[in-house]
A and B are shown apart, each in its own frame.
Chain A
């Protein structure tokens, strides 16, 4: 199969959809001739023109609200939010408008839009351009939340998000943009709410999101050499969450480590841990659930500090061993 990058997979999913469906368009800052801050839309202006690759003023509230209003009236907008941190400025339109219109209106009207946005640290962009704020939006009924970790997943999940009739918050990880993977040329659909077992194992379950999926897999390889057999699950979508796959895995292994980059306190890992605690898998637990997440500080600038802020492979290895009393 052909190998392309995560970034190219995002672009390909959008381009294929836009060739088929006139109602799909993109709006956002610097997405035209510049090609977007990370280059995701590069070349799309040339193919689709300025009517459908709509470069906007620096007005996140208006961009989001315009996406919502156009979705409510029959378009299927893709909004590119330049950095996921900027959702603060678009928050009213996402939380109070996009998420709630259908319910408030008693089921009349729908808001089929995708808000695509790069998140995560590791680029030295410091505290206002490096956050992972996905837990905020998972708290809001009416929104769906997607966090792909591979080139293959990002294409199929973006297709499913564009096909969905609800507002979908789609988190792309900056450090994953350049990672490569096997991606079919044709369109395909990965249903929202279907986790992927990235590695099968029997001793410990790791549930990891976004870039942490890769770190968890590296940790699993290292642990394998020590005879510890780890299962790595990527939920892929946080809302809806595939609870069944996670419960099944924990029931099998009896041990759970949850890893995400977002600050641990109030992070989505708490939701996954609670879900397990409330499920039938609780009775199978042989050790306390471990959660790994970002440190309780803003993301620092200095590269060493920045690295220390988020879980690394060695932290995951350590956490797994702790659940096995082998630390």
Chain B
């Protein structure tokens, strides 16, 4: 038996699935990176390689009816909330078979029926939306929780302050997850925020703020679970700050002049997938062979997604003006 303390709803089977999910997130973004470099997909994209745990951990403790709001760096959140990677990849290829029929692209993938209320191109733009979703849960007594993802940069937006305060005074079932990946584009968090931990900002709203190691899946699941249960039982919001790192640049054209290769190396050594694998093997959930098998399965699924995406039809002129109004 494992010595690990885990949330009740995280079964052994789920744990193993999460390991594969983290690889799906990484391979998805690495594939997107490759295609952008080759000019096979256009526009822009923001990759979350290195941030797999902060995407997967909080979603791991959610129920199907729970909701999330995501960010411009949102492919991982989407996968963690159960999105179909085929339709995600098709969206990046601008196809009619994509999640948004090719009208949204990387920054706007949403799956409203599955509880993913959408990625967002405006930094901090999704935070008030999450509060609105939480208000629906509260007013209609639906008992679902909304998890709101945003980055360190968003915590300097007015919408962060306004929305967290409103969620607090209305005691809404929402969990705020700040993925502090150390940089808002080129702005180092240490230059943009005067306090060492963004989580302490929760003090000013009157709800708990918790700092977690954003590369530690187990800790992320446990801390998220406490926050989600707190929200579900009517005790209000929590702010979780997951300290993490994006391995890649901000978007497709980033020379990363604002940080050192040594710093990148230090963070890469804290690879969240490897850390999670080591725990799973040490605790006897999987073997090294099984881990490799799961990784290869994920790789294959991404290849399949690419094939699906490429086969899809392009939207046509007739699609330009549809969906503007309901």
Contact = CB atoms under 8 A, between A and B. Distances in A.
Interface residues of A, number: 45
A237 B135 CA distance: 30
B118 interface: yes
Given A61-B162, A67-B132, A92-B125, A105 B112 contact: yes
B324 A66 contact: no
Contact of B324 (A51, A64, A92, A102): A102
B139 A61 contact: no
A64 B322 CA distance: 25
Contacts of B169: 57
Contacts of B162: 57, 59-62, 65
B101 interface: yes
B7 interface: no
A252 B301 CA distance: 66
B159 A68 contact: no
B98 A106 contact: yes
A111 to B, nearest CB: 8
Contacts of A72: 112, 117, 129, 132-133
Interface string B115-142: 0011011100101111111111101100
Interface residues of B, number: 46
Nearest to B111: A108
B112 to A, nearest CB: 4
B22 to A, nearest CB: 26
A66 B117 contact: no
B163 interface: yes
Interface string B13-55: 0000000000000000000000000000000000000000000
Contacts of A312: none
Interface stretch (A93-101, A153-161, A194-202, A285-293): A93-101
Interface string B90-113: 000000001111111000101111
Interface string A137-149: 0000110100000
Nearest 6 pairs of A and B residues by beta carbon:
A69-B132, A65-B128, A62-B162, A106-B100, A107-B323, A106-B101
Given A61-B128, A107-B323, 10 more contacts: A62-B131, A62-B165, A65-B132, A65-B163, A67-B132, A69-B133, A70-B139, A72-B133, A92-B125, A142-B324
Interface of B: 67, 69, 98-104, 108, 110-113, 117-118, 120-122, 125, 127-137, 139-140, 158-159, 162-163, 165-166, 169-170, 322-326
